[in-house]
Amino acid sequence: MRIFHLSAECYPVAKVGGLADVVGALPKYQNLAGLNAAVVMPYYDRKFVRENVFDTVFQGATLLGTRRLYFEILKEKTDKLGFELYLVKIPGLLDRENIYSYPDETEQFIAFQIAFLDWISYSQQSPDIIHCHDHHSGLVPFLLQHSKLYTRLAKTATVFTIHNGQYHGAFGWDRLSYLPEIDLTKTGLLDWSGGINPLASAVRCASRYTTVSPSYLEELTVSSNGLEFLFFLERARGIGIINGIDTEVWNPATDPMIVEKYTSAKIAAGKQKNKEALCTRFNLDPAKPLISFIGRLVVEKGADLLAEAIETSLAEFEGKVTFLVLGTGEPEMEKDLQEVKEKFPADCNVYIGYNEELAHLVYAGSDFLLMPSRVEPCGLNQLYAMRYGTMPMVRSTGGLKDTVIDFGDAGGYGIRYNNASVTDICYAISRAVVLYKDEKKLQLLHKRMMALDFSWDVSAKQYMELYKSLKPTTI
């Protein structure tokens, strides 16, 4: 079964968040299971692209409105990622360094999708499944069915996975001409609230849509930035599949980015060495419990509550707990966190920036990982934390709710709380501080969480079942 994954991100080529981790891992596991999965993404002027060899497999020209675009499809020569990796390069549009936030982002992603469709159309390829990820490839299901240019591919099965339903990629009808010739009687399938909405269109036009956790599928019907009614109407066509993690990249027994490798048999000693290295680097006392946060400093992640929660807890548990924040995002939140660090230099440190290597050490060396997310479609951080024997402290939402059981409940191993509020976070911190003193219990909980299986094996099977249900004749 031939599958194309279309995505703006893919680890290790270009990553902003969890989307990259999923697209960098799922196809690898699908190929190991006997499928033939490839990734197609925009070309970025980044380290991975510069340091690897690519062949040009196709050259073409297409139109974006009246603008003629020349594009190339490049393929990584060795399939070293465990799948074929294709990059769509368009000089002046898809050849930049950053993934998001250019003023012509709409043009970039429309061009990406058209170039992909032109390529598979002209080169007579017939994939069984086109698997689109987030709004950046959300117009593909509509275009396949309702643009005359792609009639040959009109029956291709499509899956649309929502990693983040807050971003829709919406733009005005004045830019309809950017799309290739379409059936104008079908424009209702593009529209939401008077604009072209790629996310809404994909939910309606894909053969099936998925969310990255079952709870998130339900939550989208109550909170999705204006698409609640759509998700309510389309609920029966959705399916929630929890993300797996790449257990090769995230493995404390082999991880080259941590100081001391360890298995669950040697967890206490292994974690202690990593904690010491981390604390030395950030001037913290390794004898105290270390609670860390990793992630984008945005409201969605509850990062606006962090500074106050840390400050309140440090005032309350003076000298009994330490905090480390690794993240980048809203300048106001960065500033607030820096201020707490200046106020409590012995017990709080902040690293503003994106640092993949450091993230591995933080997962390995921390005692607890705080995730006060308001919205968490799946959340990978808690899964990585548990794999490294670090207790997640999560707000009960989305994938966090689906993957973390409170240690007070039967078989539990984490800390859960209900509200995205400073009070709830501080209460969770107080539970962590108390638990930290009970070494025996902690050891048991560490072992319990490290024994959990969040590998892709389970989730990849669920995607396979979904593909089969859409394409029964190829099996």
The gap from C-alpha 74 to its chain's centroid, in whole angstroms, comes to 24
Q: Tokens standing for 272? A: 């202690």
Contacting ligand ADP within 33-92 (CB under 6 A): none
Q: Give the x/- contact pattern for ligand ADP in 379-408, rule: CB under 6 A.
A: xxx---------------------------
Taking CB under 6 A as the criterion, the residue among 79, 332, 339, 356 binding ligand ADP is 356
245 binds ligand ADP (CB under 6 A): no
Contacting ligand ADP within 181-210 (CB under 6 A): none
414 binds ligand ADP (CB under 6 A): no
Stretch that binds ligand ADP, among 16-24, 172-180, 425-433, 450-458 (CB under 6 A): 16-24
223 binds ligand ADP (CB under 6 A): no
Stretch that binds ligand ADP, among 13-21, 88-96, 260-268, 447-455 (CB under 6 A): 13-21
Taking CB under 6 A as the criterion, the residue among 38, 189, 294, 314 binding ligand ADP is 294
445 binds ligand ADP (CB under 6 A): no
Name the residue among 126, 131, 49 with its Cα closest to residue 85.
49
Q: How far is the CB of 397 from ligand ADP (least distance, A)?
A: 12
Long-range contacts of 337-345 (CB under 8 A, 24+ apart): 337/297, 337/306, 337/307, 337/310, 339/307, 340/307, 340/310, 340/311, 340/314, 343/311, 344/310, 344/311, 344/314, 345/283
- Residue count, binding to ligand ADP (CB under 6 A): 18
Taking CB under 6 A as the criterion, the residue among 261, 296, 320, 343 binding ligand ADP is 296
Taking CB under 6 A as the criterion, the residue among 326, 361, 369, 420 binding ligand ADP is 326
- The DSSP bridge pattern shows strands 84-89 and 67-76 to be antiparallel
Stretch that binds ligand ADP, among 114-122, 334-342, 354-362, 451-459 (CB under 6 A): 354-362
Taking CB under 6 A as the criterion, the residue among 17, 165, 365, 372 binding ligand ADP is 17
Q: How far is the CB of 459 from ligand ADP (least distance, A)?
A: 14
Stretch that binds ligand ADP, among 191-199, 223-231, 289-297, 421-429 (CB under 6 A): 289-297
Q: How far is the CB of 427 from ligand ADP (least distance, A)?
A: 23
Per-residue H/E/C for the chain: CEEEEECCCECCCECCCHHHHHHHHHHHHHHHCCCEEEEEEECCCCHHHHHCCEEEEEEEEEEECCEEEEEEEEEECCCCCCCEEEEEEECCCECCCCCCCCCCHHHHHHHHHHHHHHHHHHCCCCCCEEEEECHHHCCHHHHHHHEHHHHHHCCCEEEEEECCCCCCCCECHHHHHHCCCECHHHHHHCEECCEECHHHHHHHHCCEEEECCHHHHHHCCCCCCCCHHHHHHCHHHEEECCCCECCCCCCCCCCCCCCCCCCHHHHHHHHHHHHHHHHHHCCCCCCCCEEEEEEEECHHHCHHHHHHHHHHHHHHCCCCCEEEEEEEECHHHHHHHHHHHHHCCCCEEEEECCCHHHHHHHHHHCCEEEECCCCCCCCCHHHHHHHCCCEEEEECCHHHHHHCCECCCCCCCEEEECCCCHHHHHHHHHHHHHHHCCHHHHHHHHHHHHCCCCEHHHHHHHHHHHHHHHCHHHC
Taking CB under 6 A as the criterion, the residue among 138, 244, 295, 372 binding ligand ADP is 295
The answer to whether 53 and 87 have CB atoms below 8 angstroms apart is no
The residue among 138 and 327 lying less far from ligand ADP, judged by its C-beta, is 327
The residue among 244 and 379 lying less far from ligand ADP, judged by its C-beta, is 379
The residue among 179 and 450 lying less far from ligand ADP, judged by its C-beta, is 450
Q: How far is the CB of 146 from ligand ADP (least distance, A)?
A: 31
21 binds ligand ADP (CB under 6 A): yes
328 binds ligand ADP (CB under 6 A): yes
Taking CB under 6 A as the criterion, the residue among 165, 327, 389, 392 binding ligand ADP is 327
Stretch that binds ligand ADP, among 144-152, 335-343, 375-383, 453-461 (CB under 6 A): 375-383
Residue nearest to ligand ADP (CB): 18
302 binds ligand ADP (CB under 6 A): no
Q: How far is the CB of 188 from ligand ADP (least distance, A)?
A: 31
270 binds ligand ADP (CB under 6 A): no
220 binds ligand ADP (CB under 6 A): no
- Given the rule CB under 6 A, which residues bind ligand ADP? 17-19, 21, 294-296, 326-328, 354-356, 359, 378-381
